[in-house]
Every structure is written in C-alpha cells, then in structure tokens.
Structure 1
Amino acid sequence: MKKITPELTWHESWQSSYQYDLLEIYKETSFPRYLGYVYAYAYRRKHILDLIKKVAKPGAKVLDVAAAQGNFSLSLAEIGYEVTWNDMREELADYVKLKWEYGNINYIAGDVFTLGFDSEFDVVLIAEIIEHVAHPDEFIKNIAKMVKPGGHIVMSTPNGEYFQNNLPKFSECSDPSQFEVIQFQPNSDGHIFLLHLDEVESLAQQTNLSIVETRLFSNTLTNGYLKLGTLLDLLPSNWIDNLENFTNKTPLFLQRKLHTSMVVLFSRCN
C-alpha cells in the first residue's frame, strides 16, 4: 500500500479519510487521546484478516461493503484475493486508487443493495456498519443474499454487552423505523444499536446463516476508554498486547463485559 501525501485541494471526504489513515495505516501516535483507536483498529484488522484467511484461499472473491478509504480492500488484494471495493461515496474510489500498489481490486460505488450482487462472493466483509442501520435484521438478510452457498460473512461491530454501553437493545425495540432518519451517520455518534451475542445468534437463525466463530476483543485499556489514553502512551506496546491476550482468555461472561468489540464469522447454509 503506497504512502500518500495530503494536498490542500483534496475533496473533504479525502481529507477526512486521510485522518483515519494516519491512525489505521501510518499509526500516528503523537496524540495520546487517539492511541486507543490505533490499538483497537490493529486488533480488529488482525482478527478480520485472520478469519478471512481461515475460510477462503487467495483468489477467492471478496466484497468489502462501505469500505470507505479501502484499507481492508487494499490489504486483501495484496495478499491475493479478488476484491470488490464498495462505498456510497463514489469520489472515495479515486482516493483508494492513490494508495493501490498491487493486487486485483474492482471499484463499484453505490448502494450495495441495488447493484444486483446475487450469490456472487465467497466472502462479504461488513466492518463497523451494522451498528449504523435501523434494521440490522433486514441488513444481514440482504448481505447474505450476496454470498455464495457455503460462503462466508465476516462482521465486525461494537459489543453491546460492554459494561459502559447504554444504547438500546435491538431485540427490545418495538419500532426500529423511528431510527431511520438518523441511520448511516458516520463515527460513534451514528451508532443506533450495539448488538448482544444472543441477538447475533438470533439474526443468524433468521437468515439461514450459521455462526462459525465469534471473537470478542479490545478491552477498556487497549481502547483508551475511561480516560486511559494517556496511560497507553506510557506503557510499552508489548505490555498492552499482553493485557489484551490475557483478557481474551478470560471466561466468556467476563469477556462480554470487558471487551468493546466483536468479530463474527458466519457461514451461509446451502
């Protein structure tokens, strides 16, 4: 992936994307308040790529939905997958192309549900999206239609059972349509529902999907929550990684409360 230099003439969405790249790709750590994001993204990236490699060999067709600045798209293309980048913001495709170095990647902008993808992909990646939609059940059903029988969906999303979460539970909302006017907003301000593990299981059952594996990760310290970002700047990175590894091995009931994020691997039934 090429390193790029920002320009004053860039589109506003390019400038915003570059700010994320500073953290996600270039790991800019000059500001302690953002270190939690750097660590959390690194763990998310590791788990997502690991699960995709676990179920699909290089050459498999992967769709990256709402891929924004395309860091997963580019990484997957570089390790040999045939990737389709998708985002509703068409202008971001040219931003991603600036960073492209090698690998097979197609760019298809627009609403992914109107593009006619039908049982086309071996893997569909939905990273940090489902928490921004008013109807996560309908969303996952429509995503499942794009996966080949026997193919997989990899989903990352914040963990609704994290002890500081105070957003409503989707399964307890009688009228999710009330949130339609605010859906698809970026960043954490746009979160509507944060799914609980039992809700993920229910969504899978409703959608002819089976859950292959679920991983909870990124604890309060590694995410820099509770004003711990400054502490991250003081601790050696191997200490932080060791703490993350330790909490990953705690009993599930503790992980549900301690970890801020999850990655779920689904398989589409034949």
Structure 2
Amino acid sequence: MTTTTPARRRDLRDFYEDPSVPVASGTPRSLRQARMLAAALGPAATGGAKTVLDIGCGDGTAAATAAPFLAGHRIVGVDWSQDALRRARTRLPYTVRGELTDGGLPFGTGSADAVLFSEVIEHLVDPDSALDEIRRVLRPGGHLMLSTPNLAAWYNRALLLAGVQPVFSEVSLRAIHGRPGREVVGHLRLSTARALREFVAAAGFDVVRLRGAPFHGVPRPLRPLDRLACAVPSAASILLLHARRT
C-alpha cells in the first residue's frame, strides 16, 4: 500500500501485483507481534469483540497467525493489491481493498480498535500520510502494532563498515545490487529504532513498547545469534513497535 505520483504509482503497482513478489514475512515476527496485540486487547469475553485491521495484509499470513491469539475479535485484511487480496481470502473471512491516502481506507473515523501494520511502512513513498490515515480510523487509545526491518540490525552495522549495502535496503526494483540476498522486495525506506520511535510519536501516537524479532532470511548458522540480538531491540533484525493513538 502506498501513495505516489501517477507516473511512479504505475511502476510500483505493476511491481506489487506481480505474483512472484513476496507478500509475507517470517512466522517468528508474526507470532511475537500477535502476542503483543493479544496482551494489549485482552480476551474478547472480557471487553467485548474488537475490530482489528491488518493494513497491508499481503497474503493474509500475519493475520492468520494472529487469529488464534485473538479469538472472538474481528480481523479484517486490507490491501490495495488485488493479487494479494485474492490470496488473503483463502486465509481470512473478511478482506477489503483500501489505500493509505486521505480517506482511502473504507472505514469510519475512530471505527477500529487496533491496526496491524506488518512490514508495510518500508514500502511507502509517503509514510506520513499513511500514519495520518491509520490514526483517523483508530479510536482514541486504539492500538498500532507496527513491524519493520531495522536499518541498524547487528549484521548491517558490520556490512556498512565493510562498505557493503545493508540487508533490507535496495537501489533497484529490477535486481539486487551490492547487498546479500536474492529477492527484490521493494523497500523504499528503512529506519533505526530511535528514528521509528520519533516518527510514530510525531504522528500522534504514544509509544508503549519496542521489541526485537528475528529475521527468517538469516543464514541458519547465524540464527542463534540473531535470536540473541532480539534482547537489544536497537540491534535486532526486525523492530516491533506498539503504540496507542492519542
């Protein structure tokens, strides 16, 4: 999901409608994020069913992973990619097309209790407008569960010192240049833990917690180290941020 100029939008839409482009990320991140959201919302029987929007749902994997932790709550998958929504419908009972523009989400102001925003913000041309629209649809005090790759991940620090392009960053939508990895995934923006906190706070949210999560693409011999790095979110592969709408 993104906002762009018309010429730029055509290229990005073609990219994200390509079935070969990945639209899901790893299970460890999804599980950690789901547990954070479940703890924030509480049981449905206690506070009543809540509406959770998975914005930029991709193929629905993240929401489907969260569903067992959110029993009784209503989860709605939202994406602008028709190909992603087609796949998401095999996993989610509710899906809808929407965009992160002013009024682009088909929901009333203050109508959602929580938003899952998993591995989306790094793909956006205009993340400011995106958070404005998310804030609009969230009720006061509503929860934002955001995840994004960490520019300052422990291995990226070493790669930069060696003059190598950091993992997660890209200079082209056509091919990998100068960094490890094989898949072009369309990342346009990356942030450190500090920058992410400041950005979300400036958008009208109170940051509750920031945690780290491992990256499924780390080579197997390095995975134990990647899991250990999660204890220090600023060095973890993936940033998991919980914030509340002011």
TM-score, structure 1 normalization: 0.63
CA distance in 1, matches of 2:105, 2:79: 11
Q: 1:51 aligns with which of 36, 39, 49?
A: 36
Query: Could you say what secondary structure the match of 2:200 adopts?
Result: helix
Q: Post-superposition shift, 1:123? A: 0.6
User: Aligned-pair distance for 1:67?
Assistant: 0.7
Deviations, residues 210-260 of structure 1 (Å, cap 9, x unaligned)? 1101012327xx642xxx34x47xxxxxxx56x4553333xx4xx534x22
Contact 2:119 2:148 in 1 (8 A): yes
Q: Secondary structure at the match of 2:131?
A: helix
Task: Supply the distance in 2 between the matched residues of 1:112 and 1:133 (Cα, whole angstroms).
Answer: 9
- The question of whether the paired residues in 2 share the 8 Å contact of 1:140 and 1:203 is answered with no
Deviation, structure 1 residue 262? 0.7
- 1:205 is aligned to 201
In structure 2, the CA distance between the partners of 1:16 and 1:201, relative to structure 1 (3 Å rule), is same
CA contact (8 A) 1:119 1:149 kept: yes
Aligned length: 200
Give 2:88's aligned residue.
Answer: 96
The structural deviation recorded for 1:145 is 1.4
CA distance in 2, matches of 1:77, 1:46: 10
Which consecutive residues of structure 1, in runs of 5 or more, have no partner in the other structure? 1-11, 25-36, 168-178, 233-239
- Report which of the two has the higher share of helix: 1
Distance (Å, rounded) in 1 between the aligned partners of 2:18 and 2:200 = 35
Which of the residues 228, 236, 239 maps onto 1:246? 228
Q: What are the residue-to-residue correspondences of 1:1-270 with 2, within 5 Å?
A: 16=20, 41-57=26-42, 58=44, 59-78=49-68, 79-99=71-91, 105-113=93-101, 114-117=104-107, 118-162=109-153, 163=157, 164=159, 166=165, 188-218=184-214, 223-224=217-218, 228-229=219-220, 231=221, 240=223, 243-249=225-231, 252=232, 255-257=233-235, 259-269=236-246
Partners of 1:260 and 1:110 lie apart in 2 by: 29
Given that residues 14 and 95 in structure 1 are in contact (C-alpha distance below 8 angstroms), is that contact kept between their aligned partners in structure 2? Answer: no
Q: Which residue of 1 aligns with 2:179?
A: none
Q: Displacement of 1:209 after TM fit?
A: 0.6
CA gap of 1:212–1:193, structure 2 versus 1, over 3 A, is same
Q: C-alpha distance in 1, partners of 2:209/2:19?
A: 36
Distance 1:192 1:115, change over 3 A: closer
Work out the CA distance in 2 between the residues paired with 1:99 and 1:209: 30
Q: Which amino acid aligns with 2:242?
A: L
Aligned residues with identical type, % of pairs? 19
> Structure 2 unaligned runs (5+)?
1-15, 174-182
Q: Which residue of 2 aligns with 1:176?
A: none
How far off its partner does 1:76 sit?
A: 3.6
Q: Is the 8 A contact 2:212 2:238 kept in 1?
A: yes
CA contact (8 A) 2:111 2:137 kept: yes
Asked whether the equivalents of residues 133 and 192 of structure 1 are also in contact (C-alpha less than 8 Å), the reply is: yes
Q: Secondary structure at the match of 1:86?
A: strand
State which structure, 1 or 2, has the greater radius of gyration over its C-alpha atoms: 1
C-alpha separation between the residues in 1 aligned to 2:100 and 2:125? Answer: 16
